[in-house]
Amino acid sequence: MPQQVRGVIARSKGAPVEIVPIIIPDPGPGEVVVAIAACGVCHTDLTYREGGINDEYPFLLGHEAAGVVESVGEGVESVEVGDFVVLNWRAVCGQCRACKRGRPQYCFDTFNATQKMTLEDGTELSPALGIGAFADKTLVHAGQCTKVDPSADPAVVGLLGCGVMAGMGAAMNTGNVGRGDSVAVIGCGGVGDAAIVGARLAGANRIIAVDRDNKKLDWARDLGATHTINATEFDVVEAVQDLTGGFGADVVIDAVGRPETWKQAFYARDLAGTVVLVGVPTPDMTLEMPLVDFFSRGGSLKSSWYGDCLPERDFPMLVDLYQQGRLPLEKFVTERIALDQVEEAFESMHRGEVLRSVVVL
């Protein structure tokens, strides 16, 4: 029997989100219904609401979540009822050209649920990143459920489902940060601070945090930044160079995703260094710069989709490190809120008051 539960939707561009009844179908073949325990508020949810991803409204928002498997459809073997899972948006297909070449982290054909969740009148919902977890329950593909240690706090480990994994992976996987590297991170929200944590775990010896907001810089230092730069007070490129013997950092991570921050990342990098873009630009943004600068500075310019993670490999490992006290994931949870406070959480995010607001159900 399809169930009716509460969900948070964005109905049209820029309109405040609404909490409405939504209909969850019974899981079909390969599908799973998950009872959500917690879901973090990511900047990407706000980007969806503002039309920055696409215009397939209404969106069912929320995608950094953990919960418990409530029912499974035909043929599902990877999880069973009662399993504690973190939801992911990289259920790799195993069949596409990336998967076949042994690069499943780039999978071009990831699985989502086939059936649609709907509004009461039958209008089909577009779940954010194929998840839609600002809801009591959601319908996903079985591959989107990654089993982790059930004793972990869902509000904390759910964050691995997007922003924290994206940031940590931007440093550890995409940026390939290693022992002794210098790293600069531009934008110290949830994603940027996770990049700082990832850089530290990977052995970086100098980690420079850049933000416009001093409170964010304090948090970044608490999470492992060795130096901080307020971008409203200093020239970011010069300041990073000053802190790296005049050369620039080995790896610079842009966790904002704007032309000006990407250019700062490009020029604040040492020769043959790496730029990682993990912040998501909007379709209107463009970049113009001398081509010779690309050539003469060498190195690599990369984008990081979801931290180049493989959920099955990375989530249980990171939960384990967190449980051992080696990964301060709990510091990302600034506040715990109710399902009807997502709009307020967007405002707090906008005002820079939170790393993550987490909806707890």
Ligand X SMILES: NC(=O)c1ccc[n+]([C@@H]2O[C@H](COP(=O)([O-])OP(=O)(O)OC[C@H]3O[C@@H](n4cnc5c(N)ncnc54)[C@H](O)[C@@H]3O)[C@@H](O)[C@H]2O)c1
Question: Which stretches of the chain bind ligand X, using CB under 6 A?
Answer: 42-44, 47, 162-163, 166, 186-192, 210-213, 216, 231, 255-257, 261, 278-280, 304-306, 349, 352
Q: Which is nearer to ligand X, 33 or 48 (CB)?
A: 48
Question: Of 33 and 276, which has the nearer Cβ to ligand X?
Answer: 276
Q: Which residue is nearest to ligand X (CB)?
A: 189
φ, ψ for residue 325 (rounded to 5)? 80, 20
Omega into 58 within 30° of 0, i.e. cis?
yes
Distance separating alpha carbons of residues 31 and 235, to the nearest angstrom: 50
Cβ closer to Zn ion: 100 or 336? Answer: 100
User: Restricting to residues 42-71, which ones interact with Zn ion according to CB under 5 A?
Assistant: 42, 44
Residue 119 near which of Zn ion, ligand X, none (CB within 5-8 Å, type-dependent)? none
Separation of alpha carbons 11 and 125, rounded Å: 10
Q: How many residues does the chain have?
A: 361
When CB distances are held under 5 to 8 angstroms depending on the partner's kind, the choice from Zn ion, ligand X, none that residue 96 binds is: Zn ion
Q: Contact between 312 and Zn ion (CB under 5 A)? A: no
Shorter beta-carbon distance to ligand X: residue 44 or 138: 44
Burial of 80 (0-12, 13-18, 19+ CB in 10 A): exposed
DSSP calls for 47-102: HHHTTSS---PSEE---EEEEEEEEE-TT--S--TT-EEEE-S----S-SHHHHTT
Report the distance separating Cα 40 and Cα 60, nearest Å: 14
Closer to ligand X by Cβ: residue 73 or 190: 190
Nearest by Cα to 234 from 266, 202, 209: 209
Residue 98 CB, nearest approach to Zn ion (Å): 5
Q: Which does 337 bind (CB under 5 to 8 A by kind): Zn ion, ligand X, none?
A: none
93 binds, among Zn ion, ligand X, none (CB under 5 to 8 A by kind): Zn ion
In the region spanning residues 97 to 116, those forming contacts with Zn ion, defined by CB under 5 A, are: 99, 107, 109
Binding footprint of Zn ion on the chain (CB under 5 A): 42, 44, 93, 96, 99, 107, 109, 162-163
